[in-house]
Amino acid sequence: MRLSADKFAQYTFLGIACSAIASLMLIAVFSLKEGLPFILWYGPVEFLTSTNWNPQENQFGVGAMIVASLWVTAGAMLIGAPLGVAVAVFLSEFVPRPVMRVIKPAIELLAGIPSVVYGFIGMMVLAPLIRRHLGGPGLCILSAAIVLGIMVLPTVISISVDAIGAVPNSFREGALALGATRWQAVRMVVLKAARSGIVASIILGMGRAVGETMAVIMVAGNTPRLPHGLLEPVRTLTANIAIEMSAAIGRHREALFATGVVLFVVIMGLNSLAMAVMRRKGAR
């Protein structure tokens, strides 16, 4: 009886695990089927490098939007990753347990706030501030990067705190027993031991930043032109799909699927880049 229950559970979970992979495969296959013929028809080089997006005149270059997505993501991670890891270190190493038990769920709650709310606050508070003090239209790369930087914090903090918490206490004790200060123990031992988890948190945060759509539409300005500075409005790959899909037919619709393919590849690329960085650091 128990054996068969075990088997049942085993196959159930196997099925669930496979369905997750199957979903991923289906999304990939569907996007490729819809988008790839268009890319081949339009010319891959032209599609990826042209910065001219003008569907009315059958001009579909996503170069400017690739650049915009990379800029916004990089900006968001420059803000979110150091801040998130620093908060995680502070929470797990320097704050008494009971306090942390209150603060960590509060931070995780941030992940539950709908992205439209982040976008709204960015639009009403952040963009006017930037317009007033730094110039430009306010809706720009910088606004999007700041809003996304804050949005990735719960992901980065929560996973980093877990990673740091999983570091055996014997490492801390060993370091302190050799005369290290608490900060030295954290910096030289604990962070090294938690490195893979921290990198994973940053990769997941980055995935969230690349894929975020609503908040970006609201604060980035949405102009499909190549940006020349942080204060210029941009349109990211995700925003392009979301803004135009409802009205798109024919080639235009296919071009948006092709944009999705590019987005898919960009996310894969960023992930494997992060993995490669992690592996090289691990070997050293």
Partner 1 sequence: MSNHATQIPAAAAAATGPKMRVERLDLYYGAFQALRDVSMPFARNHITALIGPSGCGKSTLLRVLNRMNDLIPGVLVQGLVELDGCDIYAPDTDVCELRTRVGMVFQRPNPFPLSVRDNILFGLRVAGVRNRGRLDETLERSLRSAWLWENLKDRLNDPAIDLPLDQQQRLCIARLLAVSPEVILMDEPCSALDPIATAKIEELMIGLKRDYTIVIVTHNMQQAARISDFTGYMLLGDMVEFGPTTKVFTDPGDVRTQDYISGRYG
User: Applying CB under 8 A, which of residues 70, 103, 193, 243 lies at the interface with partner 1?
Assistant: 193
Under the binding rule (CB under 8 A), the answer on residue 23 touching partner 1 is no
173 part of the interface to partner 1, by CB under 8 A: yes
CA separation (Å) from 36 to 59, 258, 259? 17, 6, 10
Under the binding rule (CB under 8 A), the answer on residue 170 touching partner 1 is yes
Q: Which of 85, 87, 175, 234 binds partner 1 (CB under 8 A)?
A: 175
Between 191 and 210, CB nearer to partner 1 = 191
SS (H, E, C) the chain: CHHHHHHHHHHHHHHHHHHHHHHHHHHHHHHHHHHHHHHHHHCHHHHHHCCCEEHHHCEECCHHHHHHHHHHHHHHHHHHHHHHHHHHHHHHHHCCHHHHHHHHHHHHHHCCCCHHHHHHHHHHHHHHHHHHHHCCCCCCHHHHHHHHHHHCHHHHHHHHHHHHHCCCHHHHHHHHHCCCCHHHHHHHHHHHHCHHHHHHHHHHHHHHHHHCCHHHHHHHECCCCCCCCCCCCECCHHHHHHHHHHHCCHHHHHHHHHHHHHHHHHHHHHHHHHHHHHHHHHHC
Cβ 15 to partner 1, closest distance in Å? 36
Residue with Cβ nearer partner 1 (179 or 250): 179
Site membership for partner 1, residue 280 (CB under 8 A): no
With CB under 8 A as the contact rule, which of the stretches 46-54, 144-152, 185-193, 232-240 interacts with partner 1? Answer: 185-193
| Residue 4 interacting with partner 1 (CB under 8 A) | no
By CB under 8 A, name the one of 142, 189, 202, 231 that touches partner 1. 189
Note whether 146 binds partner 1 by CB under 8 A: no
For position 178 contacting partner 1 by CB under 8 A, the verdict is yes
Q: Is 95 in the site for partner 1 (CB under 8 A)?
A: no
- The answer to the question of residue 99 lying near partner 1 (CB under 8 A) is no
Contact between 166 and partner 1 per CB under 8 A: no
- Site size toward partner 1 (CB under 8 A) is 18
List residues binding partner 1 (CB under 8 A): 96, 168, 170-171, 173-181, 184, 188-189, 192-193
